[in-house]
Amino acid sequence: MADASSLGPLEESYPDWRAFAEAVPDGLLVMDPQFVIRGTNSRLEHMADQPGGLAGLTLGRLFNADVRAQYGQFLLDFFADPVGHGLVSVDDVSLRRGDGTEIAIDVTLAPISVGAEVWAIATVRDVTDEHEAAARHLEMEQRFQLAFENSVAPIIFTDLEDRIVAANDAFCQMVGYSRAELIGHDSTLFTSPEDVGITEAAHRRLHSGAVGSARYVKHYRHRDGRTLLVEVSRAPARDEAGNILYHVISERDITEERALTNQLSYQALHDPLTGLANRALIEDRLERARARVLRGSGFAAVLLFDLDDFKSVNDAHGHLVGDQLLIDVAQRLERVTRTTDTLCRFGGDEFLYLAEGLNQPEDAQVVAARLLGELVEPFVIAGAHIVQHASVGVVVWGAESPDRDQVVEQADVALYEAKRRGKNRFAVYNPEMYDRALQHVNMAQELRRALQFGEISMHYQPVVDTATSEVVGFEALMRWQHPERGWVPPLDFLPQAESSGVIVELGAFTLREAVLAASAWEPGASGHRPYVSVNVSAQQFRDPGLVALVDAALEESHLDPARLVIEVPERVALSDVVGAVRTMDALSQRGVGVALDNFGAGFASLSYLMRLRPRYIKIDQAFARPAVDALYSDALLESIVNLGNKLDLTILAEGIETSEQLGRLRRFGCEITQGFLFSPAVPASDVTSMLAELRGVVESVEDAATSGTE
């Protein structure tokens, strides 16, 4: 505060001046008409950074030149008529402090009587913080406005009636409307009709206080007619008392995102080739179906499909045709799939069909027959006509249902049974099938073990030239001596070896053993070494590696290729003539002979002989030893032999057991034959002695046959 001497008139007029000045919350000063400061309070001195006091200084010392120039005349006018001016406010004035810095102040000026004169009393309020806060607020508003306008996220503000009061460019672009078209409207302008009400429900929850914010998904209708899927995030803006002022709504177009998510989800649960359900999806459906069955909702059935001999299609026509066949099979099965059922590509060439809501167990057989019926008509792919059948294992689910994995295992067992019965059929699971399947698996394991421990060996049955009585070749036949069961007949293990795939390993073993044995055989009476014929299974003949396997065996044994004959069952060759021709031509080019085995057994095969061009025809035993109607059989046999002779094919009859049968074959000109009449198959160690002894046996048999025909 200023000293007493300088404040005499003021204190005389206002004895309580000091107390009053210090009680004022703002800065306070009193000046006379000459602009001399006659009194201040400590707050002003602190504000002005003048701890020594301001009394006696002129007012101009507190302001810069700009302020003095701006308000100098104003002060002159004020003191010219202070009463007339009364209370005057001057805002946003810069006060110069003692350290040279400036602060913003607001000044309120009023006249005050001091003795005979009229002075001025001023309250000075430091508004620096307010100005800074206002500046910050303005900056924040500008930033918010900039962010709002330039945000890539669509944003709108709505009032308490949910009418739009502001919208940014991103939102306008999303819905296709301008700001002018949006302002004043609620969301029904661009909401799809089926989703009207979603926004209103969220609005009510927010205003009721049930939720603090809301997020939901709804469909918008773009102005051009497109439908968008939009995720909406909605929150209210509130005042200090918690009252809602308006709503801030941020939106996100998730149309493409949801489409991609749906696509990825679809891909995760569906087979990429056929578009059918995959294993992941069918496993879930199986669990749900089992739960419904356990609750007593009728019956369900699991049908496991396996395409018969599908590998031959890939081998003959390539994998592109094979893939298209899988697609076509799936489409045929789909067109008779009920809406309550699920069709799945279970893996490879296997399909699984889940039938639900069956009234009785027998309904599963109706479903199986209907599905198999879709495969009756041949498929036409890339110009090829493909006959494709399937075998089906059926399991019916009732109240006593096994779990998901067990029912699939049972369907697999029933599938094996269907194939065992001849394929292109269905079989319904029963527990006895499991025992047979287990025997099948054990048989396959035992056969592999038998190969490993030398239990499999090759025996050889002679092939005799009926004209010269010479042994011209041997057919290699597989034998299995089981350590416990003794000799196991081929008919007991070869079919199971074929269905389990072990036949490929057995076939490779047979080929190697046979050519090695034949390489050691001595010449016969004519000076020619006997050939060896080796049977190949359907799987082995269709294997692209067969020719390479033959090459390797011949190279290892150094056997003349002309002394090797590959026997192919007629049904196998005719099931894929194109592939058969390709393989047979490759073998013929190497000098290896090819025999068409079981010729005439159930197929109209004569028309294919020119395409297949085998070196040998092995007449089916039904023609060589007829049971009835000798005249009819004789005519057929004579026709086959004559046709073979005209085509320069060697005709071989097998299964000859009596001299009468041999005489009949000689009468029709059959060139070579084999059977128990001459010898059963013998071990490789007995072949050499047989070659020496058999000539006499053949001559005696021929004499008997000749005398029997005279």
Query: Which range scores top for mean pLDDT: 36-40, 166-170, 332-336?
Result: 332-336
Residue 200 lies in a domain: yes
Band of the pLDDT at 694, cuts 50, 70, 90?
low
458 is written with which tokens?
A: 């090759």
Q: What's the CA angle centered on 169, arms 165 and 172, to 5 degrees?
A: 70
- pLDDT tens digits for 630-643? 666 778 788 888 88
Q: Which residues of 401-432 are buried (b: 16+ CB within 10 A; e: fewer)?
A: beebeebbbbbbbbbbbbbbeeebbbbbbeee
CB–CB of 571/536 below 8 Å?
A: no
Bridge-based pairing of strands 27-31 and 37-40 is antiparallel
Could you tell me the CATH number of the domain that includes residue 605? Answer: 3.20.20.450
Q: Quickly count: other Cβ atoms within 10 Å of residue 449's Cβ.
A: 11
Query: What is the rounded average pLDDT for all residues in the chain?
Result: 84
Band of the pLDDT at 4, cuts 50, 70, 90?
very low
- What integer pLDDT is reported at residue 223 of this predicted model? 92
Do 353 and 468 reside in the same domain of the chain? no
The H-or-E segment that residue 391 falls in is strand 390-397
CA distance 324 to 679: 50
Residue 146 lies in a domain: no
Judged by DSSP in three states, 484 sits in: coil
Residue 641 lies in a domain: yes
The H-or-E segment that residue 351 falls in is strand 350-358
Do 652 and 589 reside in the same domain of the chain? yes
606 is written with which tokens?
A: 């004569």
β partners of residue 487: 481
Give all strands (DSSP E) within 79-213, no chain letters.
88-96, 102-114, 117-126, 155-158, 164-167
Contacts of 661 (CB under 8 A, 6+ apart): 624, 625, 675, 677
Would the pLDDT of 146 be above 90? no
Nearest Cα neighbor of 30 from 13, 12, 7 is 7
Bridge-based pairing of strands 593-599 and 564-569 is parallel
Q: Quickly count: other Cβ atoms within 10 Å of residue 23's Cβ.
A: 10
Range of the domain at 83: 5-131
Could you tell me the CATH number of the domain that includes residue 32? Answer: 3.30.450.20
β partners of residue 106: 125
Please state, in angstroms and as integers, the Cα–Cα distance from residue 379 to each residue in 327, 376, 574, following that order. 11, 9, 17
Do 414 and 503 reside in the same domain of the chain? no
Residue 599 lies in a domain: yes
CA distance 100 to 73: 25
- What integer pLDDT is reported at residue 366 of this predicted model? 94
- Work out the average pLDDT over 216-244: 89
Band of the pLDDT at 518, cuts 50, 70, 90?
very high
CB–CB of 258/252 below 8 Å?
A: no
Would the pLDDT of 312 be above 90? no
CB–CB of 453/432 below 8 Å?
A: no
Residue 112 lies in a domain: yes
Comparing 485 with 185, the larger pLDDT belongs to 185
pTM, entire model: 0.52
Do 288 and 246 reside in the same domain of the chain? no
Residue 442 lies in a domain: no
- pLDDT tens digits for 653-692? 888 888 888 888 888 888 899 988 888 999 988 888 877 7
Residue 87 lies in a domain: yes
CB–CB of 550/508 below 8 Å?
A: no
- Residue 651 falls in which region: left (phi positive, over 0), alpha (psi -120 to 50) or beta: beta
Residue 117 lies in a domain: yes
Comparing 623 with 589, the larger pLDDT belongs to 589
Encoded amino acid at 590, one letter? R
- Work out the average pLDDT over 122-130: 85
CA distance 271 to 164: 47
CB–CB of 624/665 below 8 Å?
A: yes
278 is written with which tokens?
A: 């995959």
- Work out the average pLDDT over 563-572: 88
Would the pLDDT of 510 be above 90? yes
CA distance 45 to 2: 10
Would the pLDDT of 604 be above 50? no
Give the torsion sign (CA, 126, 130, 133, 139): negative
Would the pLDDT of 607 be above 70? no
CA distance 449 to 451: 5
Would the pLDDT of 280 be above 80? yes
Q: Give the domain-ending residue among 71, 100, 131.
A: 131
Cα dihedral 578→584→585→590 (10° resolution): 160
Proportion of the chain above pLDDT 90, given as a percent: 27
Which single residue is written with the structure tokens 């196991």?
488
65 is written with which tokens?
A: 């030149």
Do 475 and 412 reside in the same domain of the chain? no
- What integer pLDDT is reported at residue 261 of this predicted model? 76
CA distance 620 to 600: 7
If one counts the domains in the chain, the total is 4
Do 467 and 424 reside in the same domain of the chain? no
Band of the pLDDT at 224, cuts 50, 70, 90?
very high
- What integer pLDDT is reported at residue 682 of this predicted model? 92
CA distance 670 to 638: 9
Contacts of 164 (CB under 8 A, 6+ apart): 156, 157, 158, 182, 183, 184, 185, 186, 187
Nearest Cα neighbor of 123 from 144, 140, 103, 109 is 109
Encoded amino acid at 679, one letter? S
Band of the pLDDT at 627, cuts 50, 70, 90?
low
Could you tell me the CATH number of the domain that includes residue 344? Answer: 3.30.70.270
Do 474 and 359 reside in the same domain of the chain? no
CB–CB of 15/27 below 8 Å?
A: no
Which single residue is written with the structure tokens 């698996």?
441
CA distance 705 to 710: 9
Judged by DSSP in three states, 174 sits in: helix
Which burial class, exposed, middle or buried, applies to 102 when counting CB atoms under 10 A from its CB (0-12, 13-18, 19+)?
middle
Q: Quickly count: other Cβ atoms within 10 Å of residue 701's Cβ.
A: 21
Q: Give the domain-ending residue among 239, 259, 279.
A: 259
SS3 per residue for 427-457: EECCHHHHHHHHHHHHHHHHHHHHHHCCCEE
CB–CB of 174/155 below 8 Å?
A: no
- pLDDT tens digits for 57-102? 888 888 887 778 888 788 888 888 877 777 788 887 888 888 888 8
Do 655 and 536 reside in the same domain of the chain? yes
Do 116 and 165 reside in the same domain of the chain? no
CA distance 459 to 211: 88
Would the pLDDT of 2 be above 70? no
Do 577 and 664 reside in the same domain of the chain? yes
- What integer pLDDT is reported at residue 450 of this predicted model? 84
CA distance 414 to 427: 6
Comparing 488 with 143, the larger pLDDT belongs to 488
How would DSSP label each residue in 526-539?
TSPPPEEEEE--HH
Do 81 and 27 reside in the same domain of the chain? yes
Q: Give the domain-ending residue among 259, 290, 307.
A: 259
Encoded amino acid at 440, one letter? H
290 is written with which tokens?
A: 């089992």
- pLDDT tens digits for 584-598? 999 999 999 999 887
Contacts of 549 (CB under 8 A, 6+ apart): 508, 511, 543
- What integer pLDDT is reported at residue 1 of this predicted model? 45
The H helix count followed by the E strand count for the chain is 27, 27
525 is written with which tokens?
A: 């009476």
Would the pLDDT of 180 be above 80? yes
β partners of residue 121: 30, 110
CB–CB of 230/218 below 8 Å?
A: yes
Do 522 and 579 reside in the same domain of the chain? yes
CA distance 602 to 598: 9
